[in-house]
Amino acid sequence: MHMCLIRLDQVNRKPEQMPYYTPLDPVRFLLRSAMIYRDKTAVIHGDRSFSYETLADRVLRLANLLIHAFHVRPGDRVAVLCQNVPAFLEATFAIPAAGGVLVPINTRLAPPEIEYVVQDSGASILLVQDEILPRVSTTVRASTKLIHIADYQNRGDPLCPYERLLQETETKLMWKDLPLTTDENAIMTINYTSGSTGKPKGAMISYRSIYMLAMTMCIQAQITHSSKYLWTLPLFHCNGWDFPFALMAVGATQYMLNKIDYGYVWKLIKEQGITHYCAAPTVQNELCHHKDAVRLNHVVHSFSGGSTLPNKLVRRLNSLNVHVTQVYGLTEVTGPAILSYDDGALSQHPKEKHLDLFSRQGYNILSLDQVRVLDQKTAKDIKPDGMQIGELCLVGNTTMRGYFNNPEATKKAFREGYFWTGDLAVIYPDGAIEIVDRAKDVIISGGENISSIELENVIGSLEKVLECAVVAGPDDKWGERPVAYVVVKEGHTITVEEIIAHCRERLAGYKCPSKVMLVKSIPKSGTGKLQKNLLRDELWKSHKRRIN
Amino acid sequence: MHMCLIRLDQVNRKPEQMPYYTPLDPVRFLLRSAMIYRDKTAVIHGDRSFSYETLADRVLRLANLLIHAFHVRPGDRVAVLCQNVPAFLEATFAIPAAGGVLVPINTRLAPPEIEYVVQDSGASILLVQDEILPRVSTTVRASTKLIHIADYQNRGDPLCPYERLLQETETKLMWKDLPLTTDENAIMTINYTSGSTGKPKGAMISYRSIYMLAMTMCIQAQITHSSKYLWTLPLFHCNGWDFPFALMAVGATQYMLNKIDYGYVWKLIKEQGITHYCAAPTVQNELCHHKDAVRLNHVVHSFSGGSTLPNKLVRRLNSLNVHVTQVYGLTEVTGPAILSYDDGALSQHPKEKHLDLFSRQGYNILSLDQVRVLDQKTAKDIKPDGMQIGELCLVGNTTMRGYFNNPEATKKAFREGYFWTGDLAVIYPDGAIEIVDRAKDVIISGGENISSIELENVIGSLEKVLECAVVAGPDDKWGERPVAYVVVKEGHTITVEEIIAHCRERLAGYKCPSKVMLVKSIPKSGTGKLQKNLLRDELWKSHKRRIN
C-alpha cells in the first residue's frame, strides 16, 4: 500500500503544457503532503483519526466512487450538506479531483432554501448527513442521487452507508489518472451567499483563487506542519475560509467538530494543544465566558469574522493567551479579504492606540490585489481621511468569476472592473480600511447617516451587555431612527435609561437610540451573523418599507 | 510625504483585465508592505537603515531615473554588478518596476566573463560598484551606460554618484504610472549559470516563477514580519534564492553584508537577533568554527545549499541552536527546488535515523510541481528503491522559460516537457530524493559507477579533515579511478594511509581512492561550490579527456 503513494504528485502532464506552467490546483497540496507526511495525523474526529496516507486513500476512493458509481463528469456539480465531519473534508478534495464542482450548502437552511440551492446549482449528487436528511425535500430526493453520511465518531460505531461505499470502492483510477484540472481559472467550487436580501447567489470560485488564498493564509495565519487546527467554523462557510487547503499544504492536523460544545472545545484546546481556530464574535464570546476558560500555557491563534469584535472581547481573548486577528471577508472573494493590523504593523504605534487600531478592518491580504473605497456615484477614490465614506470595492486573484447562471447579478456586482461589496467604509491616512456599515444597515435619520455598528459598539462596551443589534425603525418625523435590541448578561440587570444615558455621554444626540428593547436573544444566521433584516421586518411590517 | 504612500497598491488596471486576474508580480509585495509597515525598518547596512517608506521612495526614484535619464523601455536588460549593498536590493525592485529585465552578475567573475554576460544579455545599462569597476572592460564601458555605486555604509560617508543621482531624481512617475507588468509570464530576470562546462547561459525567469517561489519560501522558511534576515548569501546568486521577495512580502528586516567578516556576522546574530541566513557549506563551516561561535539563546533558521552538509557540521550547527535546512536548487528553476525533511517529516521516524534522512536532498518545495528521477535512455521513472540511479528532472511554476537567445541550449535542456538537471539521483520508497552525483562528477571505474559525493562524505567524516573533493583521475587499467583532494584542519595532521584505511573500513574496495592529495585549499566558484572541473583538468591534461 505504501508503494502506491510514492511521488503521488507525479500527475500526468499534457503534451501541450509548457514546463513553466502547472495549474495552481489546491488538490495537489494533498498529494504532496500525503507523500511527505504519510504517517502524520491529518484528521482527528472523536476517537477516530486518519494519517495523511489514509486520508489520501479515502479521497481517492471517493473520487473513484463519484466517477464510476455516480458518473460524475468534468464540470458536474456535487453538493455537500454536512456538519464538520471528515466526509466533508474528503469531499472538498475528492469532488474537484473527480473533475466535479463542489457546492457546499449551509446546514442551517430550511427545506425550501436547501431545495433552491440544489436546483439553482443543478447539482445531480448530494452528500447529506443523516441529521439533515429530514430537511431534504422530496423534490430534491427525486432530482439527485444521495450519498448518506452519518457522524461516525467512534471506532465502534456501525459503518454508515458512506463508509461502506468507500470500503467497497475499487480504486480503478489512481491519482495520476484522475481528471485534475488543466486550467487554473476553471471553477472549483460554487459557494452560495447567505442571501439576506433575496435569493442566495452562487459565487463561482476558481482553482487559482483558492490556491492563492491558501498560500496567503499559510503565511498570514502562520500555519506550519506543527499547527493543530480546530474546526469551530462551519466548513460550508466559504469552504471554511480556505483553511482546509492551507492546512493541507503544510501537513498540519485538523480536529473536526460537528457541533460546538464549549466544554469539549476547551478540553481540546488545553489537552491537545490546539494552535488555531476561526469563529464569529458570538462564538468567541461564549468561548471566553465559559466556565472552563483559563489562561493557556501556549498561544492560540484565532481568526474572528462576521462582525467586529468589541474591544472588551479582544482584551478578554488576549488575557486567555488567544492571539486574535479580525477577518473581513465575503463569499465573492473566496472568503478572507482584509485582516486587522498584525503585530508588525501595530509595533509602529504607541501601545495605548493598539486596541483602537485593531478595531478597524485593516489591510488587504497578500493575494487580494487591491481594496479601494470608491464614491458610489463617481466611482472615484474617496479622501483617505478616516471620515469620508464610500463603498468598499475589491479586485484581484481571489475574486469570483461571477454568479452561477446569473449574468444579470454578475453584471450588477462588478463596475469599473471592481467587485462592489455593498459595505460602506472609510480609509485612514495609513491606508487602513474601516467598515462603517453595510450599505443597507445605515440608518438615515433626518438626512444624517448613523452607523449601526458605531452605536452597537458603544452599547456593547457596557459591562453588563452580552450582545446588541441596532437597526433603523420607522419615524414619522425623521424618516428613520435607531432602535437598539440588547441582551443582558445572565445574572445582571440594566435599565433602558442607563443604556440611553451611556450613549448620550459618548455620542451626538441624533445618534442615540430612540428606543431600546431588552430581549433574550437576537436572531442569527447559520454563520453567526446578526440577522438585522428580521428585526427590521418586524419594525416596518405596518409601514412602507425603506428601500434595501 | 506620507500621504503619497497611501494605498500604493492601487496600481491602475487595464480595461481588458478580468477582475479575477492580477499578474503575480513580486514588485507589488513592496507596495503593500510600504503601506502596512511604513515606519518599520526594511533594510540595515552598517549604521544606515531605511524604513519601508524610505525604501519604496528610493526604489521609485531609481525606477524614474532608469526611465527618464537612462531611457529604459519595457524588456530592456539592466545589469547589476554589486556586492550585497542596499543599491542591489533597490535595483532588484526598481528595474522590473521600470519595465526592465534584471541581469545580476557574479561579482567574482574575471573581466572577460563579465564582458561575456553583459554582451550576451544585451544589457545597455550597468549598475556597478566601485570595487568591481576595474574588472569592467573598455568594451563594456563603451557599450553600456554605467551607474556608479559605492559601498556607502556610514552616515558620514560622502555621497556616492548613485546616491546623488537618487537625490536629484524627480519622481515624475508615481507607482501607479510605472509600467508594471500586465503579464505574469513575462521575463523579470535573466540569471546566468556558473557555466563550469562552457559559456554561462542566461536562464529567463518569469514574474510568476519568482512570485510563487517567494510565497513558498515565506511558508517553508517560516518568514514573518518579525524575521531578521542576514545577507551572507550573495544577492547575485539566483536573486539571493528569492529571499528579497519573500522578506518584502511579509515586511521583514534585511541586514545587508557586502563582505563576509565572521566576527561581524556573529556580532549581528547575537546582538541584533538575526533569525534567518543562507550560506554554502564552506561558509557554514567557517561560521561554526569561528572563535565567537556560541550556543545562541534564540533559534536561527539557516538554509544551506551548493553541496551536501556533512553530518558533523549539521550536529555542530544544531549545537549552536542553528536550525538548518538543506537546499538543492538550480538557476534554471529560480533557485531552491528541493528542501531536506522538515521536523514534521522527521517526526515520523525514530530519532537515531534523523541525521541520515537529513543528508538526503528531500522533497520538492510547495510551488515546484514535480521532481522525477528518469532513466536517461528511456525517460521512464526509475524504481523508487534508493538504489537505482536516474537523472533528476524538474517541472512546474518555478521553471525557467528557456535560455536567453539560445534556442539550441533550451531545446537540449528540456526533454519530454521536463527540465533535465544533469544531476544523478535515487528516489527512496518514501518519495525522498537523494542526489548521487553530478552526471559529470561520477567516476566510472571498470564499468562501476562511483559517487564522488559518497566518498567525500566518508573522508569528510574524519574529525581532522576540513574539506575534501573527489574527482576521476586517469587509469590505464580501469579507465578512471577516484582521486581525493583533502584539506586538513589547522593544527592537525593526518596521513594518506590513515585516510585510505578509514575508507576501506566503510566502503567497497573499488570505491576507495587510488590517490590522496593533501592540499592547502580546494578551488571554489564564486558561489562557494567546489570547482572539480579544475582538479580534473589538471589530472587529465596529458590524457585523452573523458567526455563531459
Mind listing the pLDDT tens digit for each residue in A134-175?
999 999 999 999 999 988 777 767 778 899 999 999 999 999
pLDDT at A399: 97
pLDDT at A174: 92
Rounded Cα gap, residues A422 and B193, in angstroms: 52
Give the bridge partners for B524, in sequence order. B530
pLDDT at A310: 83
- Residue written as cell 430534491? A140
A182 vs A17, A22, A74, A206, CA distance in Å? 9, 8, 11, 12
With an 8 Å Cβ cutoff, are B19 and A345 in contact?
A: no
Question: Which of B5, B348, B369 is the closest to A38 by Cβ?
Answer: B348
With an 8 Å Cβ cutoff, are B225 and A251 in contact?
A: no
For B410, nearest residue in chain A (alpha carbons)? A19
A 28-67 → B contacts, CB under 8 A: 28-29, 32, 35-40
Chain B residues whose beta carbon lies within 8 Å of the beta carbon of residue A7: 370-372, 381, 384, 427, 431
Rounded to a whole number of angstroms, the distance from the CA of A322 to the nearest CA of chain B is 19
Chain A residues whose beta carbon lies within 8 Å of the beta carbon of residue B208: 20
Question: Which of B225, B398, B427 is the closest to A344 by Cβ?
Answer: B225
C-beta of residue A78 within 8 angstroms of C-beta of residue A100:
yes
With an 8 Å Cβ cutoff, are A222 and B222 in contact?
A: yes
- Residue written as cell 564522488? B452
Judged against a pLDDT cut of 50, whether residue B1 lies above it is answered with no
Chain A residues whose beta carbon lies within 8 Å of the beta carbon of residue B371: 7
pLDDT in tens, B459-484: 988 999 999 999 999 888 888 899 99
Interface test mutation site (partner A, options B369, B399, B419, B428, max chain A beta carbons within 10 A): B369
With an 8 Å Cβ cutoff, are A36 and B431 in contact?
A: yes
Q: What are phi and psi of A418, to 5 degrees?
A: -115, 155
pLDDT in tens, A349-404: 999 999 999 989 999 999 998 899 999 999 999 999 999 999 999 999 999 999 99
Q: Per-residue pLDDT averaged across A9-25, rounded?
A: 86
For A253, nearest residue in chain B (alpha carbons)? B344
For A433, nearest residue in chain B (alpha carbons)? B7
pTM score, whole prediction: 0.89
Give the E-state strand segments of B93-156 in sequence order.
101-104, 125-129, 145-149
Rounded Cα gap, residues B148 and A7, in angstroms: 49
Which segments of A145-203 does DSSP mark as H helices, in order? 161-168
With an 8 Å Cβ cutoff, are B251 and A347 in contact?
A: no
Q: Do domains B2-13+51-203 and B443-540 have the same CATH topology?
A: no
More confident of the two residues B419 and A2: B419
Any residues with CB less than 8 A from the CB of B271 and at least 6 apart, and which? Answer: none
In this structure, the strands spanning A101-104 and A77-81 are parallel
Could you give the dihedral angle defined by the CA atoms of residues B316, B317, B318 and B320, in that order, rounded to the nearest 10 degrees?
90
Q: Quick one: CA dihedral B36, B37, B42, B47, positive or negative?
A: positive
pLDDT at B3: 45
Q: For residue A427, which of A418, A415, A436, A438 has the smallest C-alpha distance?
A: A436
Rounded Cα gap, residues A133 and A123, in angstroms: 16
More confident of the two residues B268 and A443: B268
| Interface contacts (A, B; CB < 8 Å) | 196
B 316-345 → A contacts, CB under 8 A: 341-345
Question: Which of B10, B345, B431 is the closest to A7 by Cβ?
Answer: B431
pLDDT at B501: 93
How many Å is the Cα radius of gyration of chain A?
24
Judged against a pLDDT cut of 60, whether residue B2 lies above it is answered with no
**Residue count (chain A):** 548
pLDDT at B250: 98
Residue A257 falls in which region: left (phi positive, over 0), alpha (psi -120 to 50) or beta: beta
Any residues with CB less than 8 A from the CB of A544 and at least 6 apart, and which? Answer: none
For A394, nearest residue in chain B (alpha carbons)? B19
Q: Give this complex's ipTM.
A: 0.88
With an 8 Å Cβ cutoff, are B397 and A21 in contact?
A: yes
More confident of the two residues B438 and B146: B146
Rounded Cα gap, residues A154 and B404, in angstroms: 60
C-beta of residue B518 within 8 angstroms of C-beta of residue B497:
no
C-beta of residue A373 within 8 angstroms of C-beta of residue A382:
yes
Chain B residues whose beta carbon lies within 8 Å of the beta carbon of residue A427: 6-7
Angle, helix B86-97 to helix B27-36, in steps of 10 degrees: 110
Rounded to a whole number of angstroms, the distance from the CA of B243 to the nearest CA of chain A is 14
With an 8 Å Cβ cutoff, are B429 and A6 in contact?
A: yes
Any CB–CB contact under 8 A between A348 and chain B?
Answer: yes
Q: Which is the CATH superfamily of the domain at B443-540? A: ANL, C-terminal domain (3.30.300.30)
Rounded to a whole number of angstroms, the distance from the CA of A349 to the nearest CA of chain B is 9
As a 3-state breakdown, chain B gives helix, strand, coil percent values, each rounded to 5, of 35, 25, 40
State the amino acid at position A128 in one-letter form. Answer: V
Rounded to a whole number of angstroms, the distance from the CA of A117 to the nearest CA of chain B is 24
pLDDT at A507: 80
Question: Which of A21, A208, A417 is the closest to B13 by Cβ?
Answer: A417
Judged against a pLDDT cut of 60, whether residue B547 lies above it is answered with no
A103 vs A126, A209, A239, CA distance in Å? 9, 16, 9
Exposed / middle / buried, residue B1 (Cβ in 10 Å: 0-12, 13-18, 19+): exposed
Domain-by-domain residue ranges, chain B? 2-13+51-203, 260-439, 443-540
Exposed / middle / buried, residue B406 (Cβ in 10 Å: 0-12, 13-18, 19+): middle
Task: Give the distance from CA A273 to its chain's centroid.
Answer: 23
Instruction: For residue B363, give the 3-state DSSP assignment.
Output: strand
A 188-207 → B contacts, CB under 8 A: 206
Rounded Cα gap, residues B435 and B306, in angstroms: 12
Give the bridge partners for B145, in sequence order. B125
A116 vs A127, A139, A192, A202, A407, CA distance in Å? 16, 10, 10, 11, 18
Rounded Cα gap, residues A546 and A536, in angstroms: 10
Q: How many CB atoms lie within 10 A of CB B509?
A: 7
- Residue written as cell 502532464? A13
Q: For residue A146, give the C-alpha cell.
A: 444521495
Selecting from 3.20.20.140, 1.20.1440.130, 3.40.50.12780, 3.20.20.70, what CATH number does the domain B2-13+51-203 have?
3.40.50.12780
As a 3-state breakdown, chain A gives helix, strand, coil percent values, each rounded to 5, of 35, 25, 40
B358 vs A34, B71, B298, B325, CA distance in Å? 19, 50, 22, 8
pLDDT at B548: 34
Question: Which of B20, B369, B400 is the closest to A22 by Cβ?
Answer: B369
For A42, nearest residue in chain B (alpha carbons)? B344
Rounded Cα gap, residues B430 and A37, in angstroms: 10
With an 8 Å Cβ cutoff, are A430 and B366 in contact?
A: no
* Domain with residues A442-540, CATH architecture: 2-Layer Sandwich (3.30)
Give the E-state strand segments of A405-478 in sequence order.
414-415, 418-427, 433-438, 443-445, 448-450, 465-475
pLDDT in tens, B260-300: 999 999 999 999 999 999 998 888 989 999 999 999 999 99
A2-206: CATH number: 3.40.50.12780
Judged against a pLDDT cut of 60, whether residue B117 lies above it is answered with yes
Q: For residue B200, give the C-alpha cell.
A: 554561462
Please, what's the b/e burial string for A112-133 (b: 16 or more CB within 10 A of its CB; e: otherwise)?
Answer: ebbbbbbebbbbbbbbbbebbe
Interface test mutation site (partner A, options B7, B176, B325, max chain A beta carbons within 10 A): B7
Q: Quick one: CA dihedral A164, A170, A176, A178, positive or negative?
A: negative
Name the helix (H) or strand (E) containing A29. Answer: helix A27-36
Instruction: For residue A468, give the 3-state DSSP assignment.
Output: strand
With an 8 Å Cβ cutoff, are B19 and A343 in contact?
A: no
Give the whole-number percent of chain B exceeding pLDDT 90.
Answer: 74
Rounded to a whole number of angstroms, the distance from the CA of B311 to the nearest CA of chain A is 22
Judged against a pLDDT cut of 50, whether residue A3 lies above it is answered with no
Rounded Cα gap, residues B256 and B232, in angstroms: 8
pLDDT category at A439 given cuts 50, 70, 90 is confident
pLDDT at B210: 98
B 411-470 → A contacts, CB under 8 A: 414, 417-419, 427, 429-431
Rounded Cα gap, residues A451 and A470, in angstroms: 9
How large is the greatest C-alpha to C-alpha distance in chain A, in angstroms?
A: 77
With an 8 Å Cβ cutoff, are B19 and A206 in contact?
A: no
pLDDT at B24: 97
A260-439: CATH number: 3.40.50.12780
